[in-house]
Chains A and B, each alone.
Chain A
Amino acid sequence: MMPFTYTQAADADAAVRLAGGQQAGARYLGGGTNLVDLIRETIERPTALVDVTGLSDGITETDGGGLLIGAAVRNTALAEHRLVRSRYPMLARAILAGASPQIRNMATVAGNILQRTRCAYFYDQAGSRCNKREPGQGCDAIDGFNRMHAILGASPSCVATHPSDMCVALAALDATVHLTGTQGERRLPFADLHRLPGDEPDRDTVLQPGDLITAVELPALPTAARSAYRKVRDRSSYAFALVSVAAALAVENGTVTDVRLALGGVAHKPWRASKAEQALRGQPATEAAFQAAAAAELAEATPLRDNAFKVELAQRVIVAVLGELAESGLAGDGA
């Protein structure tokens, strides 16, 4: 562990001044549930930690009927929030599917968003090559153990996946990220925040040095009241997703009027399944249509040595989750 300074930021502007002024050596500290691990493994070697957990930890309703979630809100608080549970159940379920109660009690919203891949080769500073850790070094995962790795959107430089569950729901919900940076405040669609690896896998997001996430905004989205999150993993709890699916479905008279679908565990970023959504809108809410939509999304999947099963698994889970939502909708209509 490298020596570093630790400062608690009084407000967002102060945080940006503290971090922006220290160039690349500064990191914002949330719950530390990932960053501290990375520091201990010497993957991250910050010279300064700016603690932002004292900032923006509220959840408020917006005028438009959405929610504004402070970046420092703890994962547990978000998952337990009454309006989250009623309006965006997929988000509450996604959060509860991740990590452990202890970790969720510490982890913040922004920290969860900015957590880094759990690729074992990325973590093996001493013994493995990784382009994400050391640009240009090479990737030992592509021909190594890659059961957990990407089947969509990967590049010859990097096949890592984004590990978050919460982010899969945020991607499906069309969230907006509020930022403060050296150039002032701005907003970014959540779907545009994380990057695909391309030939710069060291850049997980489009954030610039000093950028601070201050809040995440959820739009009003009635469709999301009937939504689900299904995570498939190698044990019952405390494991990262092999495949996860966040979905919301609106059906009227047997026809899909709205659908939100995102996948976890399959790509370098939370994967919004736009092709599947497009294929499904206006179609009958039948298993055949769900199958076709899932197949459309997965058509370009490129499996690796150990993860070909993910294509079939993702197909099955998408269809199953949409099917359950369609059925529960029918039940709801009948009630």
Chain B
Amino acid sequence: MSIVDKGKEAAQGIAQSVMKKAVELAPGALLPGGRPDPLIRRQHGHIGKPVSRVDGPLKVRGAAPFAAEIALDGMVYAALAYSTIAKGRIVTLDTGAAEAAPGVVLVMTHRNAPRLNPPPRFLSGDKAAAGDDSPVMQDDRVRWNGEPIALVLAETQEQADHARSLIRVTYAEEPAATSLPTADGCEVGTFMGEPLRAVVGDADAAFAAAPHKVEAVYTTPGHNHNALEPHGATLVWRGDELFIHDATQAVAHTAWSMAQIFDLEEAQVHVSSPFVGGGFGAKGLWQHQILAAAAARLAGRPVRIALSREGVYRIVGGRSPTEQRVALGADADGRLTAIIHRGVTPKTRHSPMPEPFILPTQSAYAAKTFALEVQTCYLDMVANTFMRAPGEAVGTVALECAMDELAEQLGMDPVELRILNEPEKDPLSGRPFSSRNIVAAYRAGAQRFGWERRNPVPRSRREGDWLVGMGCATATYPYHRMPGGAARITLDAAGHARIDVAAHEMGMGTATTHTQVAADRLGLPLEAVTVRYGDSSLPGVILAGGSQQTASVGLSVMMAHQELVGELLKLAGNDSPLAGLGADEVECADAGLRKLDEPGRFESYASILARSGRSELVVEGSAPMPLETMHWSMHSHGAMFCEVRVNAITGETRVSRFLGSFDCGRILNPKTAASQFRGGIIMGLGLALMEETQFDGRNGRIMNRNLSDYHLPVHLDVPEIEVIWTDIPDPHAPMGARGIGEIGITGTGAAVANAIHNATGRRVREFPITLDKLL
């Protein structure tokens, strides 16, 4: 097994020590010889229907309460002051004027902050949530430009902001590493604890000997997180219990981690997060929740902390920049003989996440030899962290542009080159694919997009001042399912079911989709199902990350459902038409149980509960360890097609058409899924054309810390985006569905770049592709 593949397992969180137990617990459904999730067969239920969001009316009325909108009695408002040097010590910190300012309740600095344990760094434990494990206002050290150095609490936000502006600080600066040439400690990076390196055969020799080859360096800049809702929290201490209204994609993790930091029992921290205005990997535990809780304790008042857009840039990390060298060797027919993908990305000493850009290359194409490696070097900068498809988003930029360059050199159609190199099994691990229909996705996408109209000769189509071109690229993202999933079903005498699960709704449609799935699983109408989520008191340790929440929740509910059926049969007893039947002989339908091959043998839930004198039945199920990824290579794919128009005079690029053709298993809700795909693609357009963190190498300061200077696509930059899918269920995934949250951003950047090359004849390998690079 390759070292990278071991990393992949670590990514699933599988520890060797629990393997044996896990095997015993594993559901047959997802393992070899097992019976796939029965819902896959059911084609006429709620799954697959474009059900509108259950929380849609609340949101459009502005009635869905977000974390920084919760009002608590006696609440005060927080403002943060940030360091302006990258490294050194605070020498003087004058808070006198701030303390004397109107409305100020507290000024907290390292001098008066309570002693806190270091935040548990994400992945250091199964419930560790912190994106940054440096001490939180515990000393006079400065570790990055933008680190919080003081927090002000005041009666109004304006008073807090004003007082914050009165704080005066001087520093003793120390030499800082703020650009790759000054970085130190370069080494092979790790992702989820495993080295980012894979070697198969002698790729360098194979590359040297290849009759056809391309080799180029691609660079991508840092990217900052810009969710619509900036990070925020409203929190209060009641005695020794801490109640946090948070914007998070990890309620259970946050509760446990805050307990560690404040020396509490896990049960003393309550995290609620019913609505999140976008996460993208950034809505974890950062300094602001910790500082707000510390200040609330000192002040004895509830605290609201709403980070400004600048605040998000200063303390929440982003995607680190990458410099990637891709070398592809191919034989005379175009079959790959060598795939080399190596490069470097910076990281910090206090965060877990160097950009693992070789991830997509591990299972993309068949090749005889591979040499993959990510070098990482330490910089003094804000944490690098997860951002939508970490690794794949920018890794596909390099790999898929290189494939386009190779196709051009071979005189082959880029789609055909990819199909020719389609692997039969996972090229590194040798495992079979659970389900892989990328060829079908390419064929369908190419036809729908009109790919045959592409002229392979660059710069051959011009309309007025506009050069028109088409490009394609492969999108890919793995199926993940993390351990810890659990769910509770409460079935009441009226035949209504409530699903309780510590999951998250960040806008992607969690509540809606799982209402559909649970309704089908339980044989109930949508109106009879409620999904309760977004609270750490609910079952499960479920991260809304890695595009795995749907699988985790879906399997948890499936396990709870098995319990439910068993309990119902027990309650039904000998007087029921179901008497004597086992769990695998019945199915849920029409708000009750019926025998699979004898529909007349039926009893409704209401009847079963009534006869047994129960007002409700409560069951809980836990998802087993994610062993399915031990047996299969599990990935979603997409074929991305882009048409651009590049102005021959000014170099302005306009994406005029985009189509994503996806193979992600079964699509549970085409309405919310299409939105996810399109959102990812739009983010990919930004990555391709404009997104770039301006990190000033002189002092490590991010200069474009607002949405005016940090460019994201605006409406006019986004054409109509068509999304289609194979809808072929993955027999080894719950509901047959692999995740869809991140894949849209992958492949998009390369599809745009390849289209620009087709339009202009220019290969731009330095992203984003701004107009000056096309003049």
Contacts and interface: CB of A to CB of B under 8 A. Distances in A.
Interface of A: 1-3, 40, 42, 118, 120-121, 124, 126-128, 140, 143-145, 147, 232, 234-239, 242, 309, 312-313, 316-317, 320
Enumerate the 8 nearest inter-chain pairs by beta-carbon distance, A residue then B residue, closest first. A236-B716, A309-B772, A127-B84, A237-B716, A120-B703, A145-B694, A232-B650, A236-B717
B160 to A, nearest CB: 10
Nearest to A118: B708
A320 B649 contact: yes
B516 to A, nearest CB: 37
B771 A1 contact: no
Interface string B655-694: 0000000000000000000000000000000000110001
Nearest to A236: B716
A118 B710 CA distance: 13
B696 A144 contact: yes
Nearest to B84: A127
Nearest to A319: B649
Contacts of A126: 81-82, 84
Instruction: Name the residue among A143, A236, A309 with the largest chain B CB count within 10 angstroms.
Output: A236
Given A144-B696, A235-B713, A316-B649, 9 more contacts: A1-B165, A120-B709, A127-B145, A127-B699, A140-B696, A235-B689, A235-B714, A235-B716, A242-B771
Contact of A239 (B102, B465, B711): B711
A121 to B, nearest CB: 7
17 contacts: A1-B158, A1-B165, A2-B165, A120-B709, A127-B145, A128-B703, A144-B703, A232-B650, A234-B690, A234-B770, A235-B711, A236-B654, A238-B714, A312-B775, A313-B651, A316-B649, A317-B650
Nearest to B652: A232
Contacts of A128: 701, 703
B195 to A, nearest CB: 35
Contacts of A42: 165
Given A145-B696, A313-B650, A235 B717 contact: yes
Contacts of B84: 126-127
Interface residues of B, number: 36
Contacts of A237: 714-717
Contacts of A1: 158, 161-162, 165
Contact of B703 (A40, A145, A313): A145
**Chain A at the B interface: SS class:** loop
Nearest to A243: B650
A2 B694 contact: no
B771 A232 contact: yes
Contacts of A309: 771-772, 775
A313 B650 CA distance: 6
Interface string B64-107: 00000000000000000110100000000000000000100000
B690 A235 contact: yes
Interface in B563-609: none
Contacts of A312: 775
B704 interface: yes
Contacts of A234: 690, 711, 770-771
Nearest to B706: A123
B255 to A, nearest CB: 34
Nearest to A239: B711
B698 interface: yes
Instruction: Name the residue among A2, A147, A239, A312 with the largest chain B CB count within 10 angstroms.
Output: A239
A45 B544 CA distance: 43
Nearest to A312: B775
Contacts of B161: 1, 40
B650 A127 contact: no
B704 A120 contact: yes
Nearest to A148: B709
Given A127-B145, A235-B711, A313 B162 contact: no
Contact of A143 (B651, B698, B701, B772): B698
Given A120-B703, A124-B703, A313 B775 contact: yes
Contacts of B699: 127
A120 B690 CA distance: 17
Contact of B714 (A118, A143, A236, A242): A236
B100 to A, nearest CB: 13
Contacts of B649: 316-317, 320
A42 B704 CA distance: 17
Nearest to B167: A126
Nearest to B699: A127
B337 to A, nearest CB: 40
B154 to A, nearest CB: 12
A265 to B, nearest CB: 12
A3 B690 contact: no
Contacts of B465: 320
Contacts of A118: 708-709
A291 to B, nearest CB: 13
A255 to B, nearest CB: 25
